[in-house]
Amino acid sequence: MHRLILALVLTASTCSYAARPFVTDDARLTNAESCQLESWSRKYKTSHEFWVLPACNFAGNFEITAGAGKATTAGQASTHDFILQGKTLFRELSTNGWGWGLAFGKVNHPDISPGPNLFGNTYAYIPMSFSTNNDQVIFHTNVGWLKDKATGEHRATWGIGSEIQATPRILLIAESFGDHQNTPYWQIGARYAIVPNLFQIDTTIGRQFNGSIDTRWISFGLRMTPDKMF
């Protein structure tokens, strides 16, 4: 399978976030003049993966993400992925408003890795977000492109997701994502703010629509989002 970032490392300076555990990206950035750290593990029937993705926003409207992942499949050697991505906004998301931007990046995964991420070696996409009910419900959509270096294929990618602020500390998420050639995936989960606007943990379950049990996963993650670091 392929891999796709569709921004699991993108955040905002508001009380709600659409980064981890989302695959579908949002029209928001890491806090200006700060960095954030996301890390998570994802477990399948016969494999698991682990990711660390730091991101920084030095100037205010350009976010840089650089990270790495490791995937291990039973009976096989581990594989590694390395990613570098840039993201900017053309319209900031506001309460009861909408926003959009552009993200682009490069992934190096010399070996085949498991998972539903749909990563290609070179990719770009447009994230759009729509706020309703005073940010209590926010919708996200992505439309993009990737080129897989191994096959030379060009693919159209997409994602659609929603976040619901169930309580001041609990955020519920649901989404679906994929490309134009393969059966899409779904994912649902929740994030809990141990320290609001600073430290959150999350968990999700997901699977490929009509896929085998091997495509089912459960994930656990954490996220640190300091307000300002420099």
pLDDT at 66 over 80: yes
In a domain, 9, yes or no: no
β-strand partners of 132: 137
In a domain, 18, yes or no: no
In a domain, 8, yes or no: no
In a domain, 4, yes or no: no
In a domain, 15, yes or no: no
**Distance between CA atoms of 42 and 115, rounded to whole angstroms?**
9
Q: What is the pLDDT of residue 149?
A: 75
Q: What is the pLDDT of residue 230?
A: 86
Structural domain harbouring 49 = 34-224
Which candidate, 125, 117, 160, places its Cα nearest to that of 145? 125
Instruction: Give the CATH number for residue 41.
Output: 2.40.160.40
pLDDT at 113 over 50: no
In a domain, 22, yes or no: no
In a domain, 21, yes or no: no
SS3 214: helix
pLDDT band at 20 (very low <50, low <70, confident <90, very high): confident
pTM of this structure? 0.85
In a domain, 105, yes or no: yes
Mean pLDDT of the chain: 86
Which candidate, 89, 44, 35, 42, places its Cα nearest to that of 67? 35
Domain count, the chain: 1
Which candidate, 205, 189, 197, 186, places its Cα nearest to that of 17? 197
Those residues with Cβ within 8 angstroms of residue 189's Cβ, 6 or more apart along the chain or in another chain:
21, 172, 173, 202, 203, 204, 205, 206, 219
